[in-house]
A and B are shown apart, each in its own frame.
Chain A
Amino acid sequence: MAYSNTSGYAASTGAFFVTFIVFIPLIGLMLGLLDPIPNPFLTTAPSFISLLQQTGALKMLFNTVLLAGSVSIVAVCMGTWLAYMQQRANYPGRKILSLLCLMPLAMPSYLLAATLRESLGPGGMVGSPFGFPMFTGFWPAFMVLVLTTVPFVQLLVNATLAKSSSAEEEAARTLGANHWQVFRHVIMPRLRPSFAFAILIVQLYVISDFGAVAVLDYQVLTWRLYQSVDHQQLQEATLFGVALLLITLPLLVLSRRIHGKVPRNMQVGNARAPKSKKLGKKSLILTYVIQTFVIGLGVFLPIITLFVWVLMGAKYDNAFASLSQPVLDSAWITTIGALFVVLLAFFPAWYTARNKNKSSWLVEQMTYLSSALPGVLLAFGLILVALFIGRYFDVRSLYPWLLSSGILLLLGYAMRFLAESYAPLKASILMLDPREKDSARLLGANDWQWFKRVALSTLKPGVLTALLLAALAIIKELPVTLLLGGAMGLRPLSFRIFDRYQEAFLHDAGLAGLVLLVVSFTMTLVLLRWRRHA
């Protein structure tokens, strides 16, 4: 079967082109290290060594690692338990509670952090009667990030559990083991690879998070990097960027290695649907406690708080700012951005689906690398590259043009969300049966007819999922939008919420937050539905 036709050539060229894009921000960072950009307001340029001491970069590094480590352990335990309960147990409210537990997926971390800070902190509607202390720093950031990452783990483990037979579990139970013992001695060992993978994924997520740590002012690398860029301390920002890269890379390499070991199919003997068992009292209480925590703090309290903000604004006759521009800008960047991301992701997806060799392996790793890098870092790297191009080629107009043309923003989104679109695209391309193309040819159809009648219908679900995943990610996205979108005058909903929250215009932040949530909840529900049917 011949794939080495023109489309194959285009796919491989495109794939390597996309792979190369990943290097752009990294090149920017390296140049920033070799040729530090001075702060225009300072007379002397400090050395990186002195900056290392002055800025407390090591402390930031420590904070980042501490947060990622602790969140990953707690979130993976909670998420695994929830997935296990969803798959293997039967208790009142299981279906609806399991679904609601996934809803924090639709919640941007800055919105979750802002609403919880205001409601749980001193003076808040929950914090005030209980006399809670300041809702900033490590513990609040820990809590918010656990809430955002538990659903990821639940989904991930759920997928593994759904594919595995429950024969061993039932054997254990026949021998008198309770739910907890089965979980501990049968499920856990079997899930170990997915478990390790989930821990790494959560750690990568926490390290790259910007919204929660910014709102809760926890001094970690991403938040300090953003502040440094905002205050034009680009040399410091470079330092934080390199530190971020240094902790992200090993985790990524490790996660890719483990990913290969996650079993695709774990059926032992005959596959059959696991029998749901009634839960013991302790397991039931534990399950309800975790679900109340995730749903109550991750979904209900934030939504109630947003409503309170809006109602308070109405009560005191505060003027509400028009939402037309934020909604338009969000629609614009989400549409163009998602199309661009999927378009770019198509090349590596096609290439790796059609080739199995060293270079396709490399293309896949690079795709995951780009999306594992924090958005703040990608955006900063792109800014640096634009700066250096303007400098080295002495074309001053190039820098402002690159910034305001939207190219950097689109590249930023593409890199950040490449992997998310890549996975469903590749899966659907793998389903294209090349023999069908031959049959179509035999029947006299040309390539275009084959594509239109056969390929398109096979690819459609994957493409739609990829588009929607990218759109959901972009509409929630904050740091890339702030750093690269602000420079071109874009002010989407995410910008509106963050800006108004920081300026303490809570009624405006609340209204924009509710609009964003309606959209992102809808998208999430559709995605979960598609996922179930897939």
Chain B
Amino acid sequence: MKQYFLIALTLFITTSAIAKPLVVYSGRSEALVGPIFEQFEQDTNIKLDVRYNSSPAGATQLLQEREASPADVVFLQETSYLSVLANAGLLQELPNSLLDQVPEQFQEAQGRWMGTSARARVLAYNTNLISEDELPQSLAELSDPKYQGKLGWAPTNASFQAHISGLRALWGDEATEQWLEAMIQNQPTAYPKNAVQVSAAGTGEIAIGWVNHYYLHRLQQQQPDLPVKNYSFPQQGDAGNMLMIVGAAITKNTDNQAQAEMLLNYLVSEPVQWRFVNEVFEYPASKNVATHPDVASLDSIEFVEIDQGSLADIGPTLELLKKHGLL
């Protein structure tokens, strides 16, 4: 019996050692990006080894492994975690040939990550339960007691947390905490995931969900008569109208530089950008691809201007959420 065990073990070890595919730590779920990675493998004949995880878990794993990490490419849901990795010295500066393909907004200040697509933070509301003119004019107003018992949110979601970090940068810690306390008074239903939250808005479990814009469009693909609409705040530059960038980066000690660059290049190439826009309903990072017709155009939303680097200040945000029992 022992021999068999040893044989199995050796087999396992050798098979894992022989092939050296390009290792990707993906904070984006397989449902969203799996098909794109498969297409890349077919198109380029480069074998990928994608490790799906949550963005914080993927980032932490890299922080723990540091130079020993097998990761070549990091593809995360939130640039906040990419900036943390960049500040820890684990990401390399990307060549201009890559950076130049995306608008300036999609480049990290020192070029250590690049945006590959973006989502807008919105309210998703049930059109049977609440009309558009009853919705708040600004995010600050969402904490008004008249919305008590009607709201949903997802405090464990990385986009939610990045938005809170953004609010701290815009409003300051004290004002953000006061607003959060008022929100908690409204007793929002907490959801573990955003997709579930938008479904809940559709079934009427909640009237208003605070989410990223793209879940709705994906759900409507499956249920065209879902009575839910997205809503952006009408006020110019309102803190609620925040653009959340999805980004990718190459690790400093990759032993697969050329292939890693090819993958990043692939992610911002037109065919893939088209897929992000038409299959995932995101905003493109490429100037040459137009937003999906069902999705509100970027020009129609009065986005707030925010330094993406400020979203990397994750610690105090987590502490704030923990203090109020949200995590």
Cα–Cα, bound, A488→B21 (Å): 12
Residue of A nearest to B227 (CB): A123
What bracket does the count of chain B residues touching chain A fall in?
35 or more
> B215 an interface residue at 8 Å Cβ cutoff?
yes
Q: Which 6 A-B pairs have the closest CB atoms?
A: A123-B203, A396-B68, A504-B195, A397-B68, A503-B31, A122-B203
Find chain A residues with CB under 8 A from B54 CB. Answer: 230-231
Find chain B residues with CB under 8 A from A230 CB. Answer: 53-54, 56-57
Extra pairs beyond A14-B2, A40-B59 (10, CB < 8 Å): A123-B199, A227-B192, A229-B57, A230-B54, A233-B327, A400-B69, A486-B51, A495-B30, A500-B31, A508-B31
> A116 an interface residue at 8 Å Cβ cutoff?
no
Residue of B nearest to A508 (CB): B31
Find chain B residues with CB under 8 A from A227 CB. Answer: 156, 192
Q: List 11 A-B contacts (CB under 8 A).
A: A10-B2, A54-B322, A122-B205, A227-B156, A336-B8, A387-B64, A396-B65, A400-B65, A495-B30, A504-B196, A507-B222
- Establish whether residues B52 and A39, one from each chain, have CB atoms under 8 Å apart when the complex forms: no
Find chain B residues with CB under 8 A from A312 CB. Answer: 222-223
> B319 an interface residue at 8 Å Cβ cutoff?
yes
Find chain B residues with CB under 8 A from A41 CB. Answer: 56, 84, 314-315, 318
- Establish whether residues B325 and A504, one from each chain, have CB atoms under 8 Å apart when the complex forms: no
Find chain B residues with CB under 8 A from A123 CB. Answer: 199, 202-204
> A519 an interface residue at 8 Å Cβ cutoff?
no
> A321 an interface residue at 8 Å Cβ cutoff?
yes
Cα–Cα, bound, A214→B192 (Å): 9
> Which residues in chain B, 263-304, are within 8 Å of chain A measured between CB atoms?
279
B210 CB to closest chain A CB (Å) equals 17
B19 CB to closest chain A CB (Å) equals 11
> A406 an interface residue at 8 Å Cβ cutoff?
yes
- Establish whether residues A502 and B52, one from each chain, have CB atoms under 8 Å apart when the complex forms: no
Contact A54:B325 (CB < 8 A) given known A406-B16, A488-B51: yes
> A170 an interface residue at 8 Å Cβ cutoff?
no
B34 CB to closest chain A CB (Å) equals 7
Find chain A residues with CB under 8 A from B314 CB. Answer: 41
- Establish whether residues B203 and A505, one from each chain, have CB atoms under 8 Å apart when the complex forms: no
Find chain B residues with CB under 8 A from A229 CB. Answer: 57
- Establish whether residues B50 and A489, one from each chain, have CB atoms under 8 Å apart when the complex forms: yes
> A392 an interface residue at 8 Å Cβ cutoff?
no
Contact A10:B195 (CB < 8 A) given known A54-B322, A396-B67, A486-B52: no
> B218 an interface residue at 8 Å Cβ cutoff?
yes
> A461 an interface residue at 8 Å Cβ cutoff?
no
Per-residue interface assignment for chain A, residues 215 to 252, with 1 indicating a CB less than 8 Å from any chain B CB and 0 otherwise: 00100000000010111110000000000000000000
> Which residues in chain A, 307-342, are within 8 Å of chain B measured between CB atoms?
312-313, 316, 318-319, 321-322, 336, 339-340
> A506 an interface residue at 8 Å Cβ cutoff?
yes
> A362 an interface residue at 8 Å Cβ cutoff?
no
- Establish whether residues B318 and A318, one from each chain, have CB atoms under 8 Å apart when the complex forms: no
Residue of A nearest to B324 (CB): A54
> B258 an interface residue at 8 Å Cβ cutoff?
no
> B135 an interface residue at 8 Å Cβ cutoff?
no
Q: Select B53's contact among A43, A340, A487, beta carbons within 8 Å.
A: A487
Q: Select B195's contact among A321, A486, A502, beta carbons within 8 Å.
A: A502
Find chain A residues with CB under 8 A from B89 CB. Answer: none
Find chain A residues with CB under 8 A from B12 CB. Answer: 405-407
Interface residue ranges, A against B (CB under 8 Å): 10, 14, 39-44, 54-56, 121-124, 134, 214, 217, 227, 229-233, 312-313, 316, 318-319, 321-322, 336, 339-340, 343, 346-347, 387, 390, 396-397, 399-400, 404-407, 486-489, 491, 495-496, 499-500, 502-508
> Which residues in chain B, 19-77, are within 8 Å of chain A measured between CB atoms?
29-32, 34-35, 38, 49-54, 56-57, 59-61, 63-70
Per-residue interface assignment for chain B, residues 97 to 141, with 1 indicating a CB less than 8 Å from any chain A CB and 0 otherwise: 000000000000000000000000000000000000000000000
> Which residues in chain B, 210-261, are within 8 Å of chain A measured between CB atoms?
215, 218-219, 221-224
Cα–Cα, bound, A54→B16 (Å): 42
Q: Select B1's contact among A10, A313, A318, beta carbons within 8 Å.
A: A10
Contact A506:B222 (CB < 8 A) given known A486-B53, A499-B31: yes
A124 CB to closest chain B CB (Å) equals 8
- Establish whether residues A340 and B224, one from each chain, have CB atoms under 8 Å apart when the complex forms: no
Q: Select A499's contact among B5, B30, B38, B215, beta carbons within 8 Å.
A: B30
- Establish whether residues A122 and B224, one from each chain, have CB atoms under 8 Å apart when the complex forms: no
Find chain B residues with CB under 8 A from A44 CB. Answer: 319
Most chain-A Cβ atoms within 10 A of its Cβ — which of B66, B70, B191? Answer: B70
- Establish whether residues B222 and A313, one from each chain, have CB atoms under 8 Å apart when the complex forms: yes
Cα–Cα, bound, A387→B29 (Å): 24
Find chain B residues with CB under 8 A from A319 CB. Answer: 35, 279
- Establish whether residues B56 and A321, one from each chain, have CB atoms under 8 Å apart when the complex forms: no
A141 CB to closest chain B CB (Å) equals 14
Find chain B residues with CB under 8 A from A486 CB. Answer: 51-53
- Establish whether residues A40 and B30, one from each chain, have CB atoms under 8 Å apart when the complex forms: no
Residue of B nearest to A118 (CB): B199
Residue of B nearest to A495 (CB): B30
- Establish whether residues B325 and A396, one from each chain, have CB atoms under 8 Å apart when the complex forms: no
Cα–Cα, bound, A400→B58 (Å): 12
Find chain B residues with CB under 8 A from A404 CB. Answer: 16, 51, 70
Q: Select B191's contact among A214, A217, A233, A505, beta carbons within 8 Å.
A: A217
Cα–Cα, bound, A121→B70 (Å): 43
> B323 an interface residue at 8 Å Cβ cutoff?
yes
Residue of B nearest to A406 (CB): B12
Cα–Cα, bound, A253→B182 (Å): 48
Cα–Cα, bound, A347→B196 (Å): 46
B17 CB to closest chain A CB (Å) equals 9
Residue of A nearest to B204 (CB): A122
Cα–Cα, bound, A346→B1 (Å): 9
Residue of B nearest to A219 (CB): B190
- Establish whether residues A502 and B63, one from each chain, have CB atoms under 8 Å apart when the complex forms: no
Cα–Cα, bound, A343→B193 (Å): 39
A351 CB to closest chain B CB (Å) equals 12
Find chain A residues with CB under 8 A from B59 CB. Answer: 40, 232
Residue of B nearest to A398 (CB): B68
Q: Select B198's contact among A10, A406, A504, A505, beta carbons within 8 Å.
A: A504
> Which residues in chain B, 129-188, are within 8 Å of chain A measured between CB atoms?
156
- Establish whether residues B57 and A231, one from each chain, have CB atoms under 8 Å apart when the complex forms: yes
Most chain-B Cβ atoms within 10 A of its Cβ — which of A318, A319, A396? Answer: A396
Q: Select A502's contact among B8, B196, B315, beta carbons within 8 Å.
A: B196
Find chain A residues with CB under 8 A from B221 CB. Answer: 316, 318
Find chain A residues with CB under 8 A from B218 CB. Answer: 503-505
Cα–Cα, bound, A500→B57 (Å): 19
Find chain B residues with CB under 8 A from A487 CB. Answer: 51, 53, 61
B75 CB to closest chain A CB (Å) equals 14
Find chain B residues with CB under 8 A from A396 CB. Answer: 64-68
Find chain B residues with CB under 8 A from A124 CB. Answer: 203
Cα–Cα, bound, A233→B327 (Å): 10
